Structure 1
Amino acid sequence: MRAEIQTVVDELKQSLELLRRHLDLENSKKRLLELNARVEDPTLWDNAAEAQKLMRERSSLDSRISGFEELENGLNDNVELIEMGEAEGDADVVTEAEDALIALGDNARKLQIASMLSGEADGNNCFLEVHAGAGGTESQDWASMLLRMYSRWCDQNGYKTQIIEESPGEEAGIKSATLKIEGPDAYGWLKTETGVHRLVRISPFDSNARRHTSFSSVTVYPEIDDSIEIEIEDKDLRVDTYRASGAGGQHVNKTDSAIRLTHIPTGIVVQCQNDRSQHKNRAQAMKMMEARLYERELREREEAAQAEHEAKTDIGWGHQLRSYVLQPYQMVKDLRTGVEKGNAQGVLDGDLSEYLEAALAMKVEGGPSGPVEDID
Structure 2
Amino acid sequence: MRAEMQNTIAAIQKSLALLAQRMDRETAPHRLEEFNARVEDPTLWDDPEGAQKLMRERQLLLDAMTGYDSIQTELSDNIELIEMGEMEDDAEIVAEAEAALTALAEKAAKKELEALLDGEADGNDTFLEINAGAGGTESCDWANMLARMYVRWAEKKGYKVELQSEQPGDEAGIKSAAYKISGHNAYGWLKSESGVHRLVRISPFDSAAKRHTSFTSVKVYPVVDDNIEIEVSPSDIRIDTYRSSGAGGQHVNTTDSAVRITHMPTGIVVTSSEKSQHQNRDIAMKALKSRLYQIELDKRSALVNEAHENAGDAGWGNQIRSYVLQPYQMVKDLRTNYETSDTKGVLDGDLDGFMAATLAMAVSGKSRAEANAE
TM-score by length of 2: 0.91
Unmatched tracts of structure 1, length 5 or more? none
Deviation at 1:100, TM superposition (A): 3.0
CA distance in structure 1 between the aligned counterparts of 2:34 and 2:312, rounded to whole angstroms: 43
Q: Is the 8 A contact 1:15 1:108 kept in 2?
A: yes
Cα distance in 1 for partners of 2:161, 2:309 equals 23
Please state whether the residue corresponding to 2:308 is helix, strand or coil.
coil
Instruction: List runs of 5+ in structure 2 lacking aligned partners.
Output: none
- Asked if 1:290 is matched to 2:289, the reply is yes
The answer to which of 354-363 and 247-256 deviates more is 247-256
Q: 2:346 is aligned with what amino acid?
A: V
Q: Which secondary structure does the structure 2 equivalent of 1:25 belong to? A: coil
Distance 1:300 1:46 in 2: 36
User: Secondary structure in 1 aligned to 2:26?
Assistant: helix
Structure 2 counterpart of 1:154: 154
The answer to whether the 8 A contact 1:123-1:187 is kept is yes
Q: Comparing 37-46 with 86-95, which one deviates more in the overlay? A: 86-95
- 1:18-97 matches, within 5 Å, as 18-91=18-91, 93-97=93-97
1:34–1:249 CA distance, 2 compared to 1 (3 A): farther
SS at match of 1:26: coil
Aligned-pair distance for 1:247? Answer: 5.7
Question: What secondary structure sits across from 1:261 in the alignment?
Answer: strand
Residue type of the partner of 2:63? S
Q: Secondary structure at the match of 1:293?
A: helix
Q: Aligned partners of 1:240, 1:125: CA distance in 2, in Å? A: 26
SS at match of 2:350: coil
Q: Secondary structure of 2:331's match?
A: strand
Check whether the contact 2:195–2:306 (CA below 8 A) recurs between aligned residues: no
Higher deviation after alignment, 215-224 or 243-252: 243-252
Supply the distance in 2 between the matched residues of 1:322 and 1:184 (Cα, whole angstroms): 25
Greater alpha carbon shift after TM alignment, 128-137 vs 248-257: 248-257
Mapped partners of 2:315, 2:24: distance in 1: 40
What SS does structure 1 have at the residue aligned with 2:332? strand
The runs of 4+ residues in structure 1 deviating greater than 4 Å are: 27-30, 88-93, 304-307, 369-373
Q: Does 1:349 align with 2:342?
A: no
Looking at structure 1, the residues matched to 203 and 116 of structure 2 have their Cα atoms a distance apart, in angstroms, of 39
Deviation at 1:342, TM superposition (A): 1.2
State the distance in 2 between where 1:166 and 1:370 align: 36
Shift of 1:88: 4.5
Give CA-to-partner distance per residue, 1:178-233, whole Å, 9 cap, x none: 01212222112211101110111122222332222111100111222223221111
Shift of 1:327: 1.3
Equivalent positions of 1:200-349 (< 5 A) are 200-246=200-246, 250=250, 252-275=252-275, 277-303=276-302, 306=305, 308-309=307-308, 313-349=312-348
Give the 3 Å change call, closer, same or farther, for CA 28–311 of structure 1 in structure 2.
Answer: farther
AA in 2 matched with 1:343: D
Contact 1:169 1:175 in 2 (8 A): yes
Alpha-carbon RMSD across the aligned residues, in angstroms, is 2.3
Match of 1:10 in 2: 10
CA distance in 2, matches of 1:291, 1:98: 47
What is residue 364 of structure 2 aligned with on the other side? Answer: 365
State which drifts further: 119-128 or 29-38. 29-38
Mapped to 1, the partners of 2:37 and 2:100 lie a distance apart of: 36
> Does residue 190 of structure 1 match 2:166?
no
Residue 294 of structure 1 aligns to which amino acid in structure 2? Y
Letter in 1 for 2:285: M
The answer as to 2:150 corresponding to 1:122 is no
Q: State the distance in 2 between where 1:129 and 1:364 align.
A: 25
State the Cα distance separating 1:37 from its structure 2 match. Answer: 2.6
Structure 1, 247-256 or 325-334: larger mean CA deviation: 247-256
Pairwise CA distance, 1:333: 0.5
Secondary structure in 1 aligned to 2:256? coil
Query: Structure 1: how far apart are the matches of 2:131 and 2:91?
Result: 60
333 and 104 in structure 1: CA distance in 2 versus 1, 3 angstrom threshold: same
Letter matched to residue 359 of structure 1: T
Distance 1:188 1:369, change over 3 A: farther
What are the Cα deviations for residues 9-36 of structure 1, in whole angstroms up to 9, with x where unaligned? 1222222223233333334444433323
Q: Residue 160 and residue 247 in structure 1: after superposition, are their counterparts in 2 closer, same or farther (change >3 A)?
A: farther
Counterpart of 1:358, as a letter, is: A
In the TM superposition, what is the alpha-carbon distance from 1:252 to its structure 2 partner? 4.4
Q: Secondary structure at the match of 1:363?
A: helix
Asked whether the equivalents of residues 195 and 308 of structure 1 are also in contact (C-alpha less than 8 Å), the reply is yes
Deviation at 1:237, TM superposition (A): 0.8
TM-score (norm: length of structure 1): 0.91
Is the CA contact (8 Å cut-off) linking 1:219 and 1:310 kept in structure 2?
Answer: no
